[in-house]
Amino acid sequence: MTEKFNKLTTEERYIILEKGTELPFSGVYNEHFAKGVYHCKQCDAPLYRSESKFSSHCGWPSFDDEIEGSVTRVLDADGRRIEILCANCGGHLGHVFEGERYTEKNTRHCVNSLSMRFRQSD
């Protein structure tokens, strides 16, 4: 059985499939703070709730917690950082950093806006 994924633009394929990074401060969700859920752009799996989003001023959307079971962590090809992937489809989201003390959870998921789709809730 073949899974059906959403059609991606050239830029989205670069980020999600080729593990690219969008330019800092360029993403639509960088300073976006509406109430809702962020989903994987490729497979629509829910990834992050808006309550876990915070402003880190790093240039990319930042979250201090993921929806349980939604994100997989793997050692990045550079051997120094931890890459985060959608646990459902394996699409590249960004990187996770710990110990920076931005929030009480002491975790920052640095996520490419192009890896996500936001669904607002009331």
Summarize pLDDT for 22-64 with one digit per residue, the tens. Answer: 999 999 999 999 999 999 999 999 999 999 999 999 999 999 9
- The answer, yes or no, to whether residue 2 has pLDDT greater than 80, is no
Q: Is residue 50 included in any domain, yes or no?
A: yes
- pTM, entire model: 0.94
Residue 3 has pLDDT above 80, yes or no: no
Is 3 within the bounds of a domain?
no
pLDDT over 60 at 86, yes or no: yes
Give the pLDDT mean for 93-98: 97
Q: Is 110 a catalytic residue?
A: yes
In a domain, 102, yes or no: yes
Tell me what the mean pLDDT of segment 68-93 comes to. 96
> Is the pLDDT assigned to residue 120 strictly greater than 60?
yes
Paired with 46 in beta bridges are 39
* CATH number of the domain to which 30 belongs: 2.170.150.20
Band (pLDDT 50/70/90 cuts) for residue 1 is very low
As a whole number, the mean pLDDT across the chain is 95
Q: Is residue 104 part of a domain?
A: yes
Domain extent at residue 67: 10-120
Residues sharing a CB contact under 8 Å with residue 118, sequence separation 6 or more, in sequence order: 29, 32, 34, 36, 37, 38, 39
- Domain total of the chain: 1
Do 98 and 112 touch, CB atoms closer than 8 A?
Answer: no
Q: Is residue 61 part of a domain?
A: yes
Structural domain contains residue 88: yes
Identify the pLDDT of residue 77. 85
Task: Say which of 43, 58, 89, 110 is annotated catalytic.
Answer: 110
**Residue 103 pLDDT more than 50?**
yes
Name residue 90's amino acid. Answer: G
Domain assignment of residue 5, yes or no: no
